[in-house]
Each structure stands twice: as C-alpha cells, then as structure tokens.
Amino acid sequence: MPTVDARPGPYSFDPSSTALLVIDMQRDFLLPGGFGESLGNDVSQLRRAVEPLAALLAVWRAAGLPVIHTREGHEPDLSDCPPAKLARGAIGQDGPYGRILIRGEYGHDIIDELAPADGEPVVDKPGKGAFYATDLDDLLKGIRSLIVTGVTTEVCVHTTVREANDRGYECLVLADCVGSYFPEFQRVGLEMIAAQGGIFGWVADSADLIKEIQR
C-alpha cells in the first residue's frame, strides 16, 4: 500500500478505499472583500491552501480517485440554522457576494480555482462538521481512509476530523491544503490532530502524498 511520511508516523492507505474531502473552499470565506474579510480576517492566510490543493486535485483526479466537496450554508428561510449560530453571526444578511452563507448565493459556492468536476458530490452542511445533518456517511460507503483538506483548520476541518475519527475513518490532514485566518490556530490545530500517537489522525504535506500517488 502507498505510505506517506507523516506525523506522528507513516500513514498507509489503500487507494481503492480512500477519498479526498475538500471542506468549505467557498467564496464567502476566501475572496477578498467577502464575509471572512469583513470580519477583520486576513483571507490570504486561507488562500495559501488554494495552489497546493489545486495541484493535488489534478493528480488525484488523474488517478481516478474520488473527491467529495462540502459547503457550509443554510436554506434561504434559515429554518436549518440553529438560533445560537444565527445570534452570533451575520448569516442571511446581505454581503458583497449575496446573502451570507445562504445556499444558491454566489458567495456560498466554491471558488473557481477549486470548482468540483462533473460527477463529484457536493455536500451542503448546516453545521461545522461535515457529518451532521448530511448524507456524507452514506456517500463514503466502502471508504476507510480520508484525505482531509479545506478551511478552517480549527473549526470545520477539526470538527469533521473528530466526527470521522469517531466513525472509524483514518484521516490524513494535509498541512499545506488546510488554512486558518489565525497562524497560531493553524499550528496548534495541526499539532492537536497528530498528538498522543495520532489521537485524531495524521498530518503530512501534499507533496509527500502526490509522490505516492504518482509512483
């Protein structure tokens, strides 16, 4: 089986039971002038992940391996948005790219550089984790290993990895293909995943995974 140089130790996976998960690479979070930047965040911290993730996607697709994308957002009437979440954010308000985090709006969709290819599932999720109130677990039937990418490292990526870990998936998080607005959260978030012998999973760089795919 392919084996990636990772922390806390080598990560082996069977390509026939492995999927690439791309979490919430949406315009509302990543575009200059968008919702993320309107909160005072530096979107360049997230955009660092775009180029390596695009390169990985090209190799992954060429190998014929499955890709699943997620988008965080809500129904236009906000019926699926928990009151506590609605009270602490600008969800549903007008933003530069349409109503913020509302399905069907321009800002809710995935950035052009990482647009899903034909046939790649897109999971719309109302929460931080990709398993909550979605059909992701059903889409992953036959999958044991998840290559996890996307944003943000300490929120939606972390929540999804923890959920996946509880469901028995073996997760490899690619350090250069995930991002946080806060460099310290990025560093600590990745350390937490690989801590204590890989309590939630493994951490590696995309170049090491690409090398294994192309062997």
Catalytic residues: 24, 125, 156
pLDDT tens digits, one per residue of 22-32:
999 999 999 99
Residue pLDDT, tens place only, 121-180: 999 999 999 999 999 999 999 999 999 999 999 999 999 999 999 999 999 999 999 999
pLDDT of residue 38: 87
**Contact, 158 vs 192, CB < 8 A?**
yes
Full 3-state SS string of 79-95: CCCCHHHHHCCCCCCEE
Residues present in the chain in total: 215
> Quick one: pLDDT at residue 13?
98
What is the reported pLDDT for 194?
98
Domain of 135, CATH number, reads 3.40.50.850
Most distant pair of Cα atoms in the chain: their distance: 50
Whether 170 contacts 146, CB under 8 Å: yes
How large is the average pLDDT for residues 58-80? Answer: 98
pLDDT digits (tens, 9 = 90+) for 30-48: 999 989 998 899 999 999 9
Judge if pTM exceeds 0.85: yes
Position 189 scores a pLDDT of 98
Q: Give the contacts of 120 (CB within 8 A, at least 6 positions apart).
A: 66, 67, 68, 69
The number of beta carbons lying within 10 Å of the beta carbon of residue 178 is: 29
How many distinct structural domains can be found in the chain? 1
Q: What pLDDT shows up at residue 202?
A: 98
pLDDT tens digits along 71-127: 999 999 999 998 999 998 899 999 999 999 999 999 999 999 999 999 999 999 999
What is the C-alpha separation between 59 and 208, in angstroms, rounded?
Answer: 12
* Domain span at 60: 3-213
